[in-house]
Chain A
């Protein structure tokens, strides 16, 4: 716990600074000695006797997961019954989602669903709307991809693993496991190169791309990526991988052919009225693909029209009004007219679409998190990237003061439909699928149609031959089919989880509320909790607030035993902090009349699972152990506040430089758990890396300026184990 001696030393340092000296202000993170990892007395995670070399928890992380599965071998990962099962539907872009479509010899269409809540791969007959088989897993699947030979690949998000299956002769039988591969923490997305030889896997928390040999599933390449990678697509020539990121308006390009890892960024940042905007929510990607010829006998679902070279007014492609959120799952689309792309207008090619949101973080003196009074702080946007040139084509957004409450500000999956020249995007929070004209650069304005689907749409796949899209709704546990022709009808089938995996009513409600867009109780501009806390973490943005610039704090894994809450430590409970946050967002709040929803939301927030770990990319044990000693050493002072890497639950006055002058503000000691994945750092996000924070003289948290480069590296290595 924090001691009076350390406080006295801090005060004397502050006093000397008040004298106007320009001496460097040093950040100190006192290295926690291995023998002194004593957590706060009210923490449930007390570990280690005083003389233990390292806490058990830390030791486990450093030693790696002893239960890691053996690497796959060629003998294990190839098909044993190659003729059994279905194949990917024609025109599939080789990109995984939470569902993948296959066509079987009898003409049936089977969707394999990565049912995360049920911890299973579920085979659903799309046409008959029945569940055919369930393949239980020992973890939560986050993505599924079907390879050309029919093998079914899935990522097990909480086990840092990719698992490979093959179908049986009948779709009513569960899949047969072939092999498994360990990858970096939290594998979330899959793709295959067009030649079928390489499978790409992105790991979110592990911030890595792995390229696996599709035959043996041996790891060919691992590339370190910026924070929170998600969707991945392969270039048409199979030589590069494009990766979306949840945070920052950026896309990563990974060279798959060079021997050395080569990762390049593509800037997706845009401007509105010449003002730069931030970006986030980059969960999804889709790439333009060519149309496939329809089988003989299939009626064409889309009419083409030739634009006459005359002075007559052109026939527009008019759009349907946005359906209000909450419409029934079997809605039709009033006022809709068929999308009739002229045969004379060229179709897009070589483009990658990146649904995201653009963010106005506000100006100094903003009343809340951003200027909530001035209109939407977050607006949907689709980045358009020229894949060959590796640059963004869409660089600005239109001004639109209209405040709409059903905007797609939580995009989660996307698919391109060449027949309509349209991009289909699933929108969490509004529980809709929107169809956007993919020929525009301000695609979010060109919404042609919108369909309501069951809660929580997280995956989508296009079946070109049957002119439909299939959507998986995770929260509602339902699979929906959307006819992309004139009718535009939606039909859904329930795929409930098995009893033992059913989420409690309270948590299910809390999850829904956490992701709800357009609830006036939560925010004035329609934002959801998940807008700033995607997957319960943080958006890496720094917002203007009445207290000044404040970076979003990660929630998942950071709440238990870390009260009080907020940067200033003003809120003793999560419930109090929620009330304060909703007020800052301009929401009307969840009051006693909404006690059920309030309790559900708090329960869900408190239940958010911490990021998983993996043996891949384990830190250097020796270096981290040395860093632990530095952390604990009183000379640095880290552990005096960040007790055992956590918090002393106290509010401290901290000096820091801002605009050349010293400011002093009170901050609650934040927990450092999972700090390796929460860049940038400091209350105003001024430090991009931990090393920058440790070597900066701009603030008075502990003493680290005297540390050598090697010491800072060791200290950082330790911090990254927390």
Chain B
């Protein structure tokens, strides 16, 4: 009998990288540096076929093979792709200096400094010590796929980022336009390296504070690292409201109501008798009953 593994189940969103939570209606547009709003290509809906069935209240299962999940080498020297010069923007306003992660259309992302557990769309330069920063972005493509980029660099005293390197991979669309999978490894992936699930933020992002709207307001990226080993299992569930997804995709559909919740989940498990883990994703749509309006508290006085 194999020794007992320390498998566990993640019952809710874990390692959430958000730039904030809020309920404001997002503006999906991304302004250029001069404030002009470029035309926004709308993403088609690769999961249209799925949503039709899901709209009937069915949860759909989408098994996928770990062999199809691309890997990203976090230690790749020089990166597979040269870092983009416009990805990171230094900003010094109102007495604070920050490095912002600039996100393009249909792109989610987050940046961290010195391996902090929280993640925002910016890091502070006011910290006295220079810091190692890491950022990651997920850009949704019209074909339902997505490009995942991981960047690393060192932030200097003046908010300048030096020596950045980037790794890029085509994330596997587990639930197209919603859930993607990659494996983030140091060198070649081993059997025990976790499966990384990426998806849009569970809640709408706060509107950015910059006047020039350099950032997409709804830019939160959720990343969940599900462990993989024999005798272990892990699960992840997420919920996105329809209006948030509409803002991200730039297109509305039957799911666009704020009372519509798109539920997604991923299970990864491997019994001691299985050579490779078994991975499967879930997708469903729930209609949530609208909250009734509060009882009026005012009194009507008659003359």
Contact A345:B64 (CB < 8 A) given known A321-B57, A388-B271, A440-B282? yes
Min CB distance, A714 to chain B, in Å? 40
Within 8 A of A (CB), among B261-279: 263, 265, 267, 269, 271-279
Would you call B57 and A402 a contact (CB within 8 A)? Answer: yes
> Which A residues are in CB contact (< 8 Å) with B284?
445
Would you call B7 and A314 a contact (CB within 8 A)? Answer: no
> Which B residues are in CB contact (< 8 Å) with A274?
11-12
Min CB distance, B47 to chain A, in Å? 7
Within 8 A of B (CB), among A104-140: none
Q: Give the interface segment out of A293-301, A346-354, A536-544, A596-604.
A: A346-354
> Which B residues are in CB contact (< 8 Å) with A402?
57, 286
Query: Most A CB atoms within 10 A — which of B8, B63, B141, B280?
Result: B63
Give the complex CA separation of A318 and B282 in angstroms.
11
Would you call B233 and A309 a contact (CB within 8 A)? Answer: no
Q: In this assembly, does B61 line the interface, its C-beta being within 8 Å of a C-beta of chain A?
A: yes
Would you call A309 and B68 a contact (CB within 8 A)? Answer: yes
Give the complex CA separation of A695 and B176 in angstroms.
62
Q: Mark B42-75, 1 if CB is under 8 A from A, else 0.
A: 0000110110010011111111110110000000
Give the complex CA separation of A442 and B65 in angstroms.
18
Contact A391:B278 (CB < 8 A) given known A311-B141, A442-B267? no
Q: In this assembly, does B145 line the interface, its C-beta being within 8 Å of a C-beta of chain A?
A: yes
Q: In this assembly, does B5 line the interface, its C-beta being within 8 Å of a C-beta of chain A?
A: yes
> Which B residues are in CB contact (< 8 Å) with A447?
58-59
> Which B residues are in CB contact (< 8 Å) with A314?
62, 64, 173-174, 176
Contact A437:B68 (CB < 8 A) given known A316-B50, A402-B286? no
Q: Can you name the residue of chain A whose Cβ is closest to the Cβ of B70?
A: A309
Would you call B282 and A445 a contact (CB within 8 A)? Answer: yes
Q: In this assembly, does B143 line the interface, its C-beta being within 8 Å of a C-beta of chain A?
A: yes
> Which B residues are in CB contact (< 8 Å) with A322?
57-58
Q: Mark A383-398, 1 if CB is under 8 A from B, else 0.
A: 0101111110111101
Min CB distance, A594 to chain B, in Å? 30
Contact A393:B7 (CB < 8 A) given known A273-B12, A388-B272, A437-B63? yes
Within 8 A of B (CB), among A326-363: 335, 341-342, 344-346, 348-351
Q: In this assembly, does A448 line the interface, its C-beta being within 8 Å of a C-beta of chain B?
A: yes
Within 8 A of A (CB), among B242-289: 263, 265, 267, 269, 271-280, 282-284, 286, 288
> Which B residues are in CB contact (< 8 Å) with A437?
61, 63, 280
> Which B residues are in CB contact (< 8 Å) with A273?
11-12
Give the complex CA separation of A442 and B60 in angstroms.
12
Within 8 A of A (CB), among B205-254: 231-233, 235, 237
Give the complex CA separation of A150 and B58 in angstroms.
43
Min CB distance, B256 to chain A, in Å? 20
Would you call B233 and A394 a contact (CB within 8 A)? Answer: yes
> Which B residues are in CB contact (< 8 Å) with A493?
none
Q: In this assembly, does B127 line the interface, its C-beta being within 8 Å of a C-beta of chain A?
A: no
Would you call B170 and A350 a contact (CB within 8 A)? Answer: no
Q: Can you name the residue of chain A whose Cβ is closest to the Cβ of B147?
A: A311
Q: Can you name the residue of chain B whose Cβ is closest to the Cβ of A398?
A: B237
Q: In this assembly, does A573 line the interface, its C-beta being within 8 Å of a C-beta of chain B?
A: no
Contact of B63 among A236, A384, A391, A439 (CB under 8 A): A439
Q: Can you name the residue of chain A whose Cβ is closest to the Cβ of B286?
A: A402
Q: In this assembly, does A65 line the interface, its C-beta being within 8 Å of a C-beta of chain B?
A: no
Min CB distance, B179 to chain A, in Å? 11
Min CB distance, A414 to chain B, in Å? 17
Give the complex CA separation of A394 and B267 in angstroms.
9
Q: Is the interface of A mostly helix, strand, loop or mixed?
A: loop
Contact of A389 among B67, B144, B272 (CB under 8 A): B272
> Which B residues are in CB contact (< 8 Å) with A342?
63, 65
Q: In this assembly, does A10 line the interface, its C-beta being within 8 Å of a C-beta of chain B?
A: no
Contact A388:B144 (CB < 8 A) given known A393-B233, A440-B280? no
Contact of B231 among A319, A335, A389 (CB under 8 A): A389
Q: In this assembly, does B189 line the interface, its C-beta being within 8 Å of a C-beta of chain A?
A: no
Would you call A348 and B9 a contact (CB within 8 A)? Answer: no
Would you call B2 and A318 a contact (CB within 8 A)? Answer: no
Min CB distance, B207 to chain A, in Å? 29
Q: Can you name the residue of chain A whose Cβ is closest to the Cβ of B171?
A: A311
> Which A residues are in CB contact (< 8 Å) with B5?
389
Would you call A307 and B282 a contact (CB within 8 A)? Answer: no
> Which A residues are in CB contact (< 8 Å) with B57?
321-322, 402
Query: Most B CB atoms within 10 A — which of A272, A351, A387, A395?
Result: A395
Would you call A317 and B173 a contact (CB within 8 A)? Answer: no
Q: In this assembly, does B4 line the interface, its C-beta being within 8 Å of a C-beta of chain A?
A: yes
> Which B residues are in CB contact (< 8 Å) with A389?
1-2, 4-5, 231, 271-272
Give the complex CA separation of A389 and B176 in angstroms.
35
Give the complex CA separation of A421 and B276 in angstroms.
15
Give the complex CA separation of A314 and B274 in angstroms.
24
Give the complex CA separation of A394 and B68 in angstroms.
24
Within 8 A of B (CB), among A388-418: 388-391, 393-396, 398-402
Min CB distance, A291 to chain B, in Å? 15
Q: In this assembly, does A23 line the interface, its C-beta being within 8 Å of a C-beta of chain B?
A: no
Q: In this assembly, does A313 line the interface, its C-beta being within 8 Å of a C-beta of chain B?
A: yes
Give the complex CA separation of A658 and B5 in angstroms.
39
Give the complex CA separation of A394 and B58 in angstroms.
21
Contact of B68 among A307, A318, A441, A446 (CB under 8 A): A307
Would you call B68 and A344 a contact (CB within 8 A)? Answer: yes
Min CB distance, A183 to chain B, in Å? 29
Give the complex CA separation of A447 and B1 in angstroms.
32
> Which A residues are in CB contact (< 8 Å) with B235?
395-396, 441-442
Min CB distance, A317 to chain B, in Å? 6
Within 8 A of A (CB), among B115-153: 141, 143-145
Would you call B233 and A313 a contact (CB within 8 A)? Answer: no
> Which B residues are in CB contact (< 8 Å) with A448?
61
Would you call A313 and B173 a contact (CB within 8 A)? Answer: yes
Q: Can you name the residue of chain B whose Cβ is closest to the Cβ of A400?
A: B286
Give the complex CA separation of A307 and B286 in angstroms.
28
Would you call A307 and B65 a contact (CB within 8 A)? Answer: yes
Q: In this assembly, does A271 line the interface, its C-beta being within 8 Å of a C-beta of chain B?
A: yes
Contact A321:B68 (CB < 8 A) given known A312-B143, A389-B1, A441-B267? no
Would you call A393 and B143 a contact (CB within 8 A)? Answer: no
Q: Mark B285-302, 1 if CB is under 8 A from A, else 0.
A: 010100000000000000
> Which A residues are in CB contact (< 8 Å) with B141?
311
Min CB distance, B107 to chain A, in Å? 16
Would you call A313 and B64 a contact (CB within 8 A)? Answer: no
Would you call A318 and B53 a contact (CB within 8 A)? Answer: yes
Q: Can you name the residue of chain B whose Cβ is closest to the Cβ of A319?
A: B58
Min CB distance, B11 to chain A, in Å? 4
> Which A residues are in CB contact (< 8 Å) with B273?
236, 349-351, 386-388
Min CB distance, B141 to chain A, in Å? 7
Within 8 A of B (CB), among A520-535: none
> Which B residues are in CB contact (< 8 Å) with A236?
273
Would you call B63 and A393 a contact (CB within 8 A)? Answer: no
> Which A residues are in CB contact (< 8 Å) with B9?
271, 394-396, 441
Query: Most A CB atoms within 10 A — which of B144, B265, B278, B282?
Result: B278
Give the complex CA separation of A317 and B278 in angstroms.
16
Q: Can you name the residue of chain A whose Cβ is closest to the Cβ of B232?
A: A393
> Which B residues are in CB contact (< 8 Å) with A344?
65, 67-68
Contact of A345 among B65, B144, B232 (CB under 8 A): B65
Give the complex CA separation of A394 and B269 in angstroms.
9
Min CB distance, A115 to chain B, in Å? 36
Chain B contact residues, CB within 8 Å of chain A: 1-2, 4-5, 7-9, 11-12, 46-47, 49-50, 53, 56-65, 67-68, 141, 143-145, 170, 173-174, 176, 231-233, 235, 237, 263, 265, 267, 269, 271-280, 282-284, 286, 288
The 3 nearest A-B residue pairs measured at CB: A350-B273, A311-B145, A388-B272
- Can you name 22 A-B residue pairings with CB atoms under 8 Å? A272-B11, A274-B12, A312-B143, A312-B145, A317-B60, A321-B56, A322-B57, A322-B58, A335-B56, A344-B68, A346-B278, A350-B273, A388-B271, A389-B2, A389-B231, A389-B271, A390-B1, A400-B286, A401-B286, A437-B280, A445-B265, A446-B61
